[in-house]
Amino acid sequence: MPEGALQEAVEALRGVRTWDEYGVVARALIDIGSPAVPHLLQALSDSDERVVKYAAAALGEIGDFRAIAPLQDLRSRCSPEVHGVIEQSLRILTRPPEFFTARTLEQSLETLTSWSDYARFAEASISGGEELVEPLLTLLDRPSARVRKFAAALLGELGSPAHLTSLIRLAEADPDPEVRRVASRSVERLAQ
């Protein structure tokens, strides 16, 4: 999507007066997905409280973990109405592992751009992660090297020696050298 159209979609939050109107704008933002997140994070510092409220709601609906820390920071210095919306978005963003499917995990892992992003994602979303192991195993064959790399890293933290075969295969045969390196580390961790 062209940057101008993306900014225009986020800017449409300024004209929203009701939750019904928000629904129309939110659908466009959700369809845009992760590319809208940086613009929505910027909208959290808008002087118009309505824009902040609707941006916070859209961030929760998009479900991108990058919104967690900014929303947590904002909730201590906003009005009660905005605070309620932020809390709802945070409940969605930090949902327990049983709500993750291979698809939602893949979408989340695809947004990670650094190891610090990964650490925040793992800390915020993965407690009691045994439920994540099976969906993570399916992600080891995805086309995205980023998804394979972070799935291998998570399996190194959450998996068991029973999952070594899948990680060894990745460590030996993945076309991406960073994926092979991360998978090798996970193999070492699980083999201990």
- The predicted pLDDT at position 98 comes to 52
**Positive/negative CA dihedral, 123, 129, 135, 138:** positive
Using the CB atoms, write b or e for 99-116: b if 16+ within 10 Å: ebebeebbbbbbbbeeee
- The predicted pLDDT at position 74 comes to 93
- The predicted pLDDT at position 153 comes to 92
Q: Which of 48-62, 96-110, 137-151, 160-174 has the lowest mean pLDDT?
A: 96-110
Q: Which of 96-100, 132-136, 179-183 has the lowest mean pLDDT?
A: 96-100
The residue ranking higher by pLDDT, 143 or 92, is 143
Residue 31 burial (CB count, 10 A): 11
Tell me the whole-structure pTM to 2 decimals. Answer: 0.58
Q: Which of 168, 174, 120 is nearest to 147 (CA)?
A: 174
The residue ranking higher by pLDDT, 42 or 92, is 42
Q: What is the mean pLDDT of residues 6-27?
A: 80
Q: Band of the pLDDT at 126, cuts 50, 70, 90?
A: low
- The predicted pLDDT at position 129 comes to 62
Q: Band of the pLDDT at 56, cuts 50, 70, 90?
A: very high
- The predicted pLDDT at position 124 comes to 61
Cβ contacts of 132 within 8 Å, gap of 6 or more: 97, 100, 105, 126, 154, 158
Tell me: pLDDT of 97 over 60: no
CA atoms within 13 A on the CB side of 159: 28
User: Domains, the chain, ranges and CATH?
Assistant: 3-93 (1.25.10.10), 97-191 (1.25.10.10)
